[in-house]
Amino acid sequence: MKTPVRVTVTGAAGQIGYALLFRIASGSMLGDDQPVILQLLDITPAMEALQGVKMELEDCAFPLLSDIICTDDPNVGFKDTDYALLVGARPRGPGMERKDLLEANAAIFSVQGKAINDNASRDIKVLVVGNPANTNALITQRNAPDIDPRNFTAMTRLDHNRAMTQIAQKTGKTVNDVSNMTIWGNHSATQYPDLFNTRVAGETAINLVDQEWYESEFIPVVQQRGAAIIKARGASSAASAANAAIDHMRSWALGTEGDDWVSMGVYSDGSYGITEGLIYSFPCRCENGDWSIVQGVEVGDFSQAKMTATEQELVEERDAVQHLLP
Ligand code: NAD
Ligand code: LMR
């Protein structure tokens, strides 16, 4: 058995937390030979509910679960931690865009960025799930100046998984036939799911569908899937979001497969002309616990316009939270 690693989950008493913790503890995220210490952070009024979650985790007798720490203090929650999943934030309701949450949620991430900077492992891997995820990841990163900006990522894996299923269903295949999906940009209604580089059973996906379906069905369905789930469930996605968080961290920690890649919101180094320093979703490959942006992906005029539109939205979100970016 390996030495246990510390995994912090914020918003651990919330609905995504409930779908996430049991899978982390069972080994789905970091592998079935990696013991974990769960450091569960939530706000003071949620501490009793969090105790209930802790009791349930104990009652699973997970062989890989070494310890559980419950706290409302970010300095305790992020102490020496190796992985952090920042879920704790308000979800949107019907009729809202994710960026409408910026005001309510942004302050959480400046506090947590500082606590990460002061307490966490220097090699910490951070995934921001709380919305608006890309800009919250930017706030977290900028408040943790002593840690490599590459260690802060935002979740677009849920959009990636949604897009894989949509194209599989349209082409009469399964997700096992789909590879090289890319979500570019923001986890928002401007995100751009790219079928020009996606492969379905060895073919280029865009050649299997007509442009009309791509533009007026596929792209809007993927962009609006979160809202469709809120409308249907009366609450935002939880199990699928938790599943995507597991997928994102697993790919980052354990690597991507072969020539395939995954979508991750990462610190832009200027690749594809995207403004440096934004947390923008790119096609990424992972190896040895590190990610890299896949270079040389085909970008035609159609893709370029969509990639620029979602970049522009991220610039606007960044400018709206300047006061939280030291
Ligand atoms: P929820 O309301 O069920 O749970 C949120 C939890 O966070 C609550 O327990 C709350 O007490 C806690 N919390 C609030 N402020 C906190 C703080 N400062 N520190 C620690 N914990 C805090 O919400 P949920 O459904 O679990 O969703 C959480 C977030 O994830 C929302 O912002 C939602 O929009 C977002 N989300 C993102 C994606 C994505 O793909 N990126 C997908 C689904 C949901
Ligand atoms: C999602 O994509 O399901 C989440 O970001 C929740 C939301 O607000 O849409």
The DSSP annotation for 62-83 comes to -TTEEEEEEES-HHHHTTT-SE
For residue 93, what pLDDT is reported?
87
- Write the CATH number for 50: 3.40.50.720
Task: Tell how strand 182-184 and strand 192-194 pair up.
Answer: antiparallel
Within-domain flag for 108: yes
Candidates 160, 187, 248, 323; catalytic one:
187
- Write the CATH number for 248: 3.90.110.10
- Is 43 within any annotated ligand binding site? no
The span from the CA of 154 to the CA of 285, in Å, is 15
- Is 233 within any annotated ligand binding site? no
Question: How many domains does the chain divide into?
Answer: 2
Q: Are residues 165 and 247 in the same domain?
A: yes
Domain termination site, one of 154, 173, 195: 154
Q: What is the DSSP letter of 147?
A: S
In ligand 1, the atom with minimum distance to the C-alpha of 235 is 25
Q: Are residues 181 and 256 in the same domain?
A: yes
Residue 100 CA to ligand 2 centre (angstroms)? 12
Best residue for ligand 2 mutational test, from 16, 90, 92 (most atoms within 8 Å of Cβ): 92
Q: Are residues 196 and 310 in the same domain?
A: yes
- Is 157 within any annotated ligand binding site? no
For residue 104, what pLDDT is reported?
87
First to last CA, the chain: 41
CB atoms within 10 A of CB 99: 21
- Does the CB atom of residue 229 touch ligand 2 within 6 A? yes
Q: Are residues 178 and 283 in the same domain?
A: yes
Domain that holds residue 112: 5-154
Q: Are residues 125 and 256 in the same domain?
A: no
Within-domain flag for 326: no
Q: Model-level pTM? A: 0.98
Q: Is 187 a residue of the active site?
A: yes
Question: Which string of b and e fits 30-47 if b means at least 16 CB within 10 Å?
Answer: beeebbbbbbbbbeeebe
Per residue of the chain (326 residues), what is the pLDDT tens digit? 899 999 999 999 999 999 999 999 999 999 999 999 999 999 999 999 999 999 999 999 999 999 999 999 999 999 999 999 999 999 988 889 898 899 889 999 999 999 999 999 999 999 999 999 999 999 999 999 999 999 999 999 999 999 999 999 999 999 999 999 999 999 999 999 999 999 999 999 999 999 999 999 999 999 999 999 999 999 999 999 999 999 999 999 999 999 999 999 999 999 999 999 999 999 999 999 999 999 999 999 999 999 999 999 999 999 999 999 99
* Atom 7 of ligand 2, nearest CA residue: 226
Residue 105 CA to ligand 1 centre (angstroms)? 9
